[in-house]
Amino acid sequence: MEAPSLEIPGHVAFAEGNGGLPKVLVTTPWSEAEIYLHGAHVTDFRKSGEAPLLFMSAASDFHPEKPIRGGVPLIFPWFGPREGLPSHGYARTTLWSLEETNVFAGGEVMLRFRMPTQEDLTVEYIVRVGAKLSLELAVTYTGQESISFETCFHTYFLIGDIHTATVTGLKGCHYLDKLQGALAIDDPADAIAFQGETERVYTACPETTHLIDPTLGRSIRIAKSGSRSTVIWNPWIEKSRRMPDIGDEEYLRMLCIESGNVAPDSHHLFPSSRATLRVEISSSPLPHQTQP
């Protein structure tokens, strides 16, 4: 368990989470959040009086050797499957340390986590909780050779109904449709709607996206910097049935909008350089739909 000095009464507290895993509870004037040291995994972020912004599977594992299904899985140093290696890298199943906590004058809380790594690599994660949730993953490399890697916030958003939710901001962007063998497609649509399993990797795509949720009556804004890739994923019915850590019906209430640098957008770091991935998540009520 972390040194008690990192606790801040009324703002930052340590607790035992699911599976006996240590977690940090964050309270601010606007919101609450929860972060497990396992994977430095943000598992909950909710604004006062609003439904949680992040989805968490009721069937998720909470085990030192397994990823948590929901919230914001940290993806590093690779995205996707690797023969004989853990899918999406090992950052999300590594025990991170909490190095620093702070509460700012307005009440926003900052937490800085560090991942145990080899000596020429520093991987730090700064989480700021307030009216918004701001995430920053910084990889600093001091080695002698260039290195390549992928990063991604594999964020699971809670939605009211996948049949009514849409995603805007990606019109005209280029994506690889992973369900059609990574077929390259330019997306003409103003908004993405969902009628089946969806897995799209938008590349060279720095755009801010919005998740429009008429069922929960809100719009979630996903603004990012240092990110050229956006991944949109819903497993739908058949894939959900094949996944033991997600309920058969949970696809109806989740949507992944992932911000990172993957596939052709991978990082290539030269000696003594740094890569930083940032995302800022916020929500606002949808204007009342006046009945026609």
Q: How far is the CB of 245 from ligand TA6 (least distance, A)?
A: 8
HEC letters along 220-270: EEEEEECCCEEEEEECHHHHHHHCCCCCCCHHHHEEEEEEEECHHHCEEEC
Query: What minimum distance in Å lies between the beta carbon of 218 and ligand TA6?
Result: 23
Residue 108 CA: distances (Å) to CA of 31, 199, 225: 9, 34, 20
Q: Is 124 annotated as catalytic?
A: no
Tokens 């972020």 map to which residue? 45
The two three-digit tokens of residue 97, written as one number: 């340390």
Q: Binding to ligand TA6 (CB under 6 A): which residues in 96-135?
A: none
Annotated active-site residue 258? The verdict is yes
Instruction: Kindly list the distances between the CA atom of residue 11 and the CA atoms of 4, 5, 26, in Å, as whole numbers in the listed order.
Output: 13, 13, 5
Can residue 88 be called a binding residue for ligand TA6 (CB under 6 A)? yes
Measured from the CB atom, the residue of 53 and 255 that comes closer to ligand TA6 is 255
Q: 98 or 152: whose CB is closer to ligand TA6?
A: 152
User: What token pair was written down for 236?
Assistant: 């739908």
SS3 156: strand
Contact segment (CB under 6 A) with ligand TA6 among 40-48, 80-88, 129-137, 220-228 equals: 80-88
Residue 71 CA: distances (Å) to CA of 163, 183, 217: 21, 29, 20
- Closer to ligand TA6 by Cβ: residue 147 or 243: 243
Q: Which residue is nearest to ligand TA6 (CB)?
A: 87
Instruction: Show the site string, 233-272: x = touches ligand TA6 by CB under 6 A, - = not.
Output: x----------------------x-x--------------
Interface residue list for ligand TA6 (CB under 6 A): 67, 80, 87-88, 154, 199, 231, 233, 256, 258
